[in-house]
């Protein structure tokens, strides 16, 4: 089986309490958005206490062109991904001895919040002493699902190459997609939820694992939802990324999720009651509650997701790696 050996999380520079973000948005939009106070209740009811951003709040008040925001993304992605990688490979909580860079056979890089060619993991290899033979697999465009998908691709790689150690890096800077002149409800909801985050996992195959107890990946699966392009994503315009955020996300979860999860568990010899904890993407308080209701489980099994949402907000693909 494939195991998770270690985790590393980057420390982003600006911690913002939810009330600070609420007051900031009120000042920014109160002259241009009718009934702003009614809309701002989403900040109060979202289950978030604080979030982390890559720039100070004042930076987001000004309009920045796509080019400028993308440059900040590239610089930040390289800097904080390197920090997350270094923490992961030297994390004494998980590791008796550090993992050498030369032991890493492949790097999966996951992101959806801006663009880079050459890709970010290539730039990281110019900063850290990985083997020049390290394979690089950038994965772009999966949004919030990217964290789970990246872990699944690493699992499959280690099944094929059982002696391999690989890294999965998720780097998201959702704050850089903020649009100060977008008065849509989607922008308001996104502003109340989204945050920045960077994390790295080290995953290894059977032949690279010592005898210590570790979390193992038993199986993975993804299910495609047809004709769901307008549920969540980006509209890419001259000013950058504009969030697409459907109000139907919680109801879609409730109607669609449980049969897929039931079938997946049964195919692997488990039932819903066998699972002690569910690590679901903390897309928002309503989203987590929809998971809970759809799966018919109590709040205790969702505690980890509620805690991450409260402390960090929605960091897109990086969120399920944070604890």
Question: Token digits for 194?
Answer: 């989204």
Domain identity same for 33 and 111: yes
Within a domain: residue 30? yes
**How far is Cα 189 from Cα 56, in angstroms, rounded to an integer?**
20
Within a domain: residue 229? no
Within a domain: residue 321? no
Q: Where is pLDDT greater, at 78 or 213? A: 78
- Catalytic residue flag (residue 200): no
**Integer angstrom CA distances of residue 287 from 136, 196, 249:** 33, 19, 7
Residue 289's domain is classified under what CATH number?
Answer: 3.40.47.10
**Integer angstrom CA distances of residue 33 from 25, 62, 78, 153, 181:** 11, 17, 37, 43, 10
Domain identity same for 19 and 145: yes
Domain count, the chain: 2
Residue 230 has pLDDT above 90, yes or no: no
Q: What band does 81 get if pLDDT is binned at 50, 70 and 90?
A: very high
Domain identity same for 170 and 252: no
Domain identity same for 145 and 31: yes
Question: Nearest Cα to 101, choosing from 111, 114, 86?
Answer: 86
Domain identity same for 161 and 33: yes
pLDDT value of residue 248 = 80
With vertex at residue 114, the alpha carbon angle to CA 25 and CA 316, rounded to the nearest 5 degrees, is 65
Domain identity same for 37 and 104: yes
Question: Token digits for 24?
Answer: 């900031």
pLDDT value of residue 243 = 85
Domain identity same for 47 and 186: yes
Domain identity same for 186 and 252: no
Angle between helical axes of 18-29 and 185-193 (0-180°, round to 10):
150
Per the structure, the complete domain to which residue 76 belongs is given by 2-208
pLDDT value of residue 232 = 84
Phi-psi region of 134 (alpha: psi -120 to 50; beta: other; left: phi over 0): beta
**Strand 196-204 vs strand 2-9: parallel, antiparallel, or unpaired?**
antiparallel
Domain identity same for 196 and 290: no
Residue 212 has pLDDT above 70, yes or no: no
Last residue of a domain, one of 152, 182, 208: 208
Last residue of a domain, one of 193, 208, 223: 208
Compute the average pLDDT of residues 173-181: 92
Residue 211 has pLDDT above 80, yes or no: no
Residue 214 has pLDDT above 80, yes or no: yes
* Burial of 133: CB neighbours in 10 Å, binned 0-12, 13-18, 19+: exposed
Mind listing the pLDDT tens digit for each residue in 46-71? 999 999 999 999 999 888 999 999 99
Where do the H-state alpha helices sit in 138-248?
146-160, 185-193
pLDDT value of residue 84 = 98
Q: What band does 76 get if pLDDT is binned at 50, 70 and 90?
A: very high
Domain identity same for 192 and 288: no
Catalytic site residue from 82, 144, 158, 202: 144
């Amino acid at each position: 089986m494939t195991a998770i050996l270690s985790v590393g999380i980057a420390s982003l520079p600006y911690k913002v309490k939810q009330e600070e973000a609420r007051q900031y948005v009120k000042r920014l939009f109160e002259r241009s958005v009718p009934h702003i106070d009614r809309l701002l209740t989403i900040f109060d009811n979202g289950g978030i206490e604080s979030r982390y951003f890559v720039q100070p709040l004042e930076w987001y008040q000004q309009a920045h062109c796509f080019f400028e925001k993308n440059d900040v993304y590239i610089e930040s992605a390289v800097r904080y991904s390197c920090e997350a990688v270094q923490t992961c490979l030297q994390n004494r909580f998980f590791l008796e001895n550090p993992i050498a860079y030369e032991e890493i056979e492949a790097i999966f890089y996951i992101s959806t919040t801006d663009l880079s060619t050459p890709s970010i993991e290539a730039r990281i290899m110019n900063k850290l002493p990985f083997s020049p033979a390290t394979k690089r697999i950038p994965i772009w465009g999966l949004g919030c699902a990217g964290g789970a998908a990246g872990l699944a691709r690493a699992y499959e790689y280690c099944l094929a190459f059982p002696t391999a150690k690989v890294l999965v890096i998720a780097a998201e800077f959702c704050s850089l997609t903020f649009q100060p002149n977008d008065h849509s409800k989607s922008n308001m909801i996104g502003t109340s939820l989204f945050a920045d985050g960077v994390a790295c996992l080290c995953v290894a195959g059977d032949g690279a694992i010592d005898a210590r107890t570790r979390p193992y990946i038993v199986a993975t699966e993804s299910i495609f939802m047809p004709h769901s392009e307008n549920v969540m994503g980006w509209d890419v315009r001259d000013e950058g990324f504009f969030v697409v955020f459907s109000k139907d996300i919680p109801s879609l979860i409730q109607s669609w999720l449980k049969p897929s999860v039931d079938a997946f568990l049964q195919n692997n010899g488990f039932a819903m009651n066998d699972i002690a904890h569910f690590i679901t993407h903390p897309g928002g308080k309503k989203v987590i509650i929809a998971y809970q209701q759809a799966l018919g489980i109590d709040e205790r099994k969702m505690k980890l997701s509620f805690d991450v949402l409260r402390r960090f907000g929605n960091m897109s693909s990086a969120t399920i790696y944070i604890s």
